[in-house]
């Protein structure tokens, strides 16, 4: 019998961390080898060996979490438990600091933050990383693979560091990359990506703008021309800043993303041609669902691990509206991380996700 893979999760207390824990605990390839959960633990909880996972996330309570705890983080803990793959559901700055140490210790890393997603220093400047330009940071960035399996499956398979994509970025890249790659979009005319996300996309830490009194019964735009995911769109779709306008909005719902994307084609197209482009591009991508009739809706994508894509072509055959939906905590974060794990391990890509 082959050795079971030992994983570890740092950042399990957050929304994405909770979903990641749930997926890993139920993954058929990891039964009998639950993840090591490590992080910041106060002195009192440290004295009792950590905090039971079921106390942090009661929805995970059951026989599969019996005895599992959030333990005080240390590299020695990970080494002693034989961890091979480390998931970081941590803030960007924390991942920036810990990834070099993890790689030096021989761990493979799937990082859910934005610390290593961007290759272009101009795009990365929005994060204002303290180690920007340092030799070690440059070396590690060169090793990082953007963790969108639909685009980089072969590179992910051999990667030591996978930089999980942003949630907005995933919804837009999957909708646009096939059409841009096919050369059918009039890029000089420009693309508009109008995206709306549930409040959980802002993370678990409360802010004035995610407070119930602000978000409820409201719809607001934010991060116009400044959102951190913009650089991912430019790099992964192959666009310049002048070719796309991306505007995120905050929806008064817990979770889910809907991106409505407006494009003009460089020549008259038929619905059958556009459908073929999508079907051909995603033929080997089990976590993308293409909608041939009705446009995707958040209610059908939320709590699933899929990205749903549909389009409506104007009667003139040149204007097109694309709708892309996903769950920001799943295909936009945690299930995408597990999908990357499957690819890295040579397992079936959709294993544990369907």
Question: How many domains does the chain contain in total?
Answer: 2
Q: List phi, psi (to 5°) of 86.
A: -110, 125
In a domain, 292, yes or no: yes
Q: At 232, which CATH number?
A: 3.30.360.10
In a domain, 2, yes or no: no
113/191 same-domain check: no
pLDDT tens digits for the chain (354 residues)? 457 999 999 999 999 999 999 999 999 999 999 999 999 988 777 777 899 999 999 999 997 888 999 999 999 999 999 999 999 999 999 999 999 999 999 999 999 999 999 999 999 999 999 999 999 999 999 999 999 999 999 999 999 999 999 999 999 999 999 999 999 999 999 999 999 999 998 888 878 888 888 889 999 999 999 999 999 999 999 999 999 999 999 999 999 999 999 999 999 999 999 999 999 999 999 999 999 989 999 999 999 999 999 999 999 999 999 999 999 999 999 999 999 999 999 999 999 999
Give the C-alpha separation, 278 to 72, whole Å.
46
114/231 same-domain check: no
Longest pairwise C-alpha distance within the chain: 69
99/204 same-domain check: no
Q: Are 228 and 279 in contact (CB under 8 A)?
A: no
Owning domain of residue 177? 167-326
213/263 same-domain check: yes
Give the C-alpha separation, 17 to 12, whole Å.
4
Residue 249 forms beta bridges with which residues? Answer: 196, 221
Give the C-alpha separation, 24 to 8, whole Å.
10
Q: List phi, psi (to 5°) of 303.
A: 65, 15
105/185 same-domain check: no
Query: How many other C-beta atoms lie within 10 A of the C-beta of residue 288?
Result: 22
61/115 same-domain check: yes
Give the C-alpha separation, 207 to 224, whole Å.
18
In a domain, 350, yes or no: no
Give the C-alpha separation, 166 to 268, whole Å.
33
Residue with the two structure tokens 């409506």: 312
271/194 same-domain check: yes
Q: Are 156 and 343 in contact (CB under 8 A)?
A: yes
From 56, 167, 172, 330, the catalytic residue: 167
Within 158-281, residue ranges assigned H as helices are 167-182, 212-215, 230-233, 271-281
In this prediction, residue 1 carries a pLDDT of 41
In this prediction, residue 315 carries a pLDDT of 98
Give the C-alpha separation, 61 to 58, whole Å.
5
213/92 same-domain check: no
In this prediction, residue 2 carries a pLDDT of 55
Give the C-alpha separation, 85 to 108, whole Å.
5
264/285 same-domain check: yes
Q: Is 320 one of the catalytic residues?
A: no
Q: Which helix (H) or strand (E) holds 45?
A: helix 43-47
186/265 same-domain check: yes
Q: What is the DSSP letter of 64?
A: G
Q: At 92, which CATH number?
A: 3.40.50.720
21/157 same-domain check: yes
11/51 same-domain check: yes
């Amino acid at each position: 019998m082959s050795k079971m893979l030992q994983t570890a999760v740092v950042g399990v207390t957050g929304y994405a961390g909770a979903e990641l824990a749930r997926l890993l605990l139920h993954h058929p390839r990891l039964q009998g080898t639950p993840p090591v959960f490590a992080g910041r633990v106060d002195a009192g909880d440290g004295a009792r060996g950590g905090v039971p996972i079921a106390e942090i996330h009661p929805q995970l309570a059951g026989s599969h979490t019996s005895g599992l705890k959030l333990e005080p983080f240390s590299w020695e803990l990970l080494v002693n438990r034989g961890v091979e793959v480390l998931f970081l559901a941590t803030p960007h700055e924390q991942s920036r600091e810990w990834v070099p140490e993890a790689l030096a210790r021989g761990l493979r890393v799937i990082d859910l933050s934005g610390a290593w997603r961007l290759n272009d220093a101009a795009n990365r400047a929005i994060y204002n990383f303290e180690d920007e330009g340092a030799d070690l940071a440059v070396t590690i960035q060169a090793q990082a693979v953007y963790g969108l399996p639909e685009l980089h499956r072969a590179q992910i398979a051999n990667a030591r560091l996978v930089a999980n994509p942003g949630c907005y970025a995933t919804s837009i890249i999957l909708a646009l990359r096939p059409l841009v790659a096919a050369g059918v979009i009039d890029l000089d005319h420009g693309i508009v990506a109008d995206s709306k996300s549930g409040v959980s996309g802002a993370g678990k830490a409360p802010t004035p703008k995610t407070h119930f009194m602000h978000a409820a019964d409201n719809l607001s735009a934010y991060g116009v021309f400044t959102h951190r995911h913009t650089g991912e769109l430019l790099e992964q779709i192959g666009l310049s800043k002048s070719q796309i306008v991306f505007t995120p909005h905050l929806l008064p719902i817990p979770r889910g993303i809907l991106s409505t994307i407006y494009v003009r084609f460089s020549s008259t197209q038929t619905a059958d041609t556009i459908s073929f482009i999508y079907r051909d591009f995603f033929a080997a991508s089990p976590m993308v669902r293409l909608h041939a009739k009705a446009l995707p809706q958040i209610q059908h994508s939320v709590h699933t691990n899929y990205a749903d894509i549909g389009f409506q072509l104007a009667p003139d055959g040149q204007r097109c509206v694309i709708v892309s939906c996903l769950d920001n905590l799943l295909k936009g974060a945690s299930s995408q991380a597990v999908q990357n794990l499957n690819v890295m391990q040579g397992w079936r890509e959709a294993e544990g996700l369907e």
